[in-house]
Amino acid sequence: MLTFLLFLLGCLAQTFPTCSGVKKIRGLDEGSFGSGDGPFEPNCLWEIQPGFALSDPQRLVIGFNDWIHSGDFNLTVYDGVPGNGILLYTMQSKDPAPREVRARYHTLATVIFQPSRGSTGGFEAYWYTSALCNSTRVVLNKTNGLLTSGKGPYKNSQKCYWTVAPPLPKGTHLEFDLRDLDTHADDCYVRIDDENGVRVAQYWGTARPGGPIRCPTSSCDVYWHTGVVDPWNTFTGFSMEYSVVSDLDSDDFQVPRSDYHERVHHGLRP
């Protein structure tokens, strides 16, 4: 029991580091970190580098859960390292925190927290890796992964396009699990087509599948489109997991008819 508790404390120290000098987090695809409540050192720095290569079709995303407006401090996020990296975001204690920022050009991101003497406020943040979101096709060959638009802000008519084509051993198939979908705008939608361009499902607004979405062919294309974005709304985007599963483990779930079919039938916007 004692050994297990020590192991658990070690894991927490690695995935929830607080503000004390330089923290280098390596090889983890997701986790959380934050400043704690103080007292703080003058400069706190986190280097977060998951285990993917720059040539891999995925990128690092950093988001903020909590931003405490008490005390004076600055927080800066770099794509890469200061000096050779790209400034993603900088903010002071009275500024609203960004929902998420994405490192596109490096395999690591650097977060620098600079509190003033006596500050007691702080922040809580997280990171994860997701497939690269591009208007040009990104091909994914791993047996499981995460597709996400991030939580904004978005541009008008922002698009992401993935082809999910993992190796499928005999007796397996590809499934998608829609985890989150924005409900703030009818113009934002996610669509799945099979390898022949036949539409499998499309969802927007409050429309949801009743379970896993099965790809009927050896690969499927996934599209995300924002339409016209209202800058005053807070968008959550979408997230979808995919995996290769055994036919024996499947619930024989049939892909539900999304409201796409009903709207087309009644002459409404597809």
In a domain, 239, yes or no: yes
148-178 pLDDT tens trace? 877 666 666 778 889 999 999 988 999 999 8
The closest of 215, 188, 219 to 201, measured between CA atoms, is 215
**pLDDT recorded at residue 2:** 41
Cα distances from 119 to residues 41, 124, 261, in angstroms, run 10, 15, 56
Place of tokens 């503000």: 19
Domain C-terminal end among 78, 109, 130: 130
In a domain, 202, yes or no: yes
In a domain, 12, yes or no: no
Q: CA-CA distance, 79 to 59, in Å (whole number)?
A: 11
Domain C-terminal end among 63, 98, 130: 130
Helices and strands (DSSP H and E) totals, the chain:
2, 18
Q: Are residues 258 and 150 in the same domain?
A: yes
In a domain, 4, yes or no: no
Q: Are residues 251 and 163 in the same domain?
A: yes
Q: Are residues 145 and 66 in the same domain?
A: no
The total of structural domains in the chain comes to: 2
Burial of 50 (0-12, 13-18, 19+ CB in 10 A): buried
Secondary structure (DSSP) of 232-266: TS----EEEEEEEEETTT---PPPP--HHHHHHHT
**pLDDT recorded at residue 231:** 54
Domain C-terminal end among 62, 97, 130: 130
Q: pLDDT tens digits for the chain (270 residues)? A: 444 434 343 444 344 456 777 889 998 888 898 887 767 777 889 999 988 887 777 788 888 877 765 667 788 999 998 888 899 888 877 777 667 788 878 889 999 988 877 666 678 888 988 877 777 788 888 898 888 877 666 666 778 889 999 999 988 999 999 888 776 655 678 899 999 999 999 887 777 888 889 999 999 999 988 766 665 455 667 788 999 998 876 554 444 444 444 343 333 333
- pTM here is 0.64
**pLDDT recorded at residue 6:** 40
Q: Are residues 258 and 191 in the same domain?
A: yes
Q: Are residues 147 and 118 in the same domain?
A: no
Task: Tell me the CATH number at 224.
Answer: 2.60.120.290
**The pair of three-digit structure tokens given for residue 151, joined into one six-digit string:** 């939580």
Q: Are residues 52 and 143 in the same domain?
A: no
CA count, 13 A, side-chain hemisphere, 150? 28
Q: Are residues 156 and 209 in the same domain?
A: yes
**pLDDT recorded at residue 196:** 92
Three-class SS string for 80-131?
Answer: CCCCCCEEEEEEECCCCCCCEEEECCCCCEEEEEEECCCCCCCEEEEEEEEE
What DSSP state is assigned to residue 12? Answer: H
Q: Are residues 107 and 140 in the same domain?
A: no
* Max CA pair span of the chain: 65
In a domain, 57, yes or no: yes
Q: Are residues 164 and 46 in the same domain?
A: no
Domain holding 253, by residue range, is 133-265
**pLDDT recorded at residue 193:** 94
Instruction: Give Rg (Cα) of the chain.
Output: 21
In a domain, 35, yes or no: yes
What DSSP state is assigned to residue 11? Answer: H
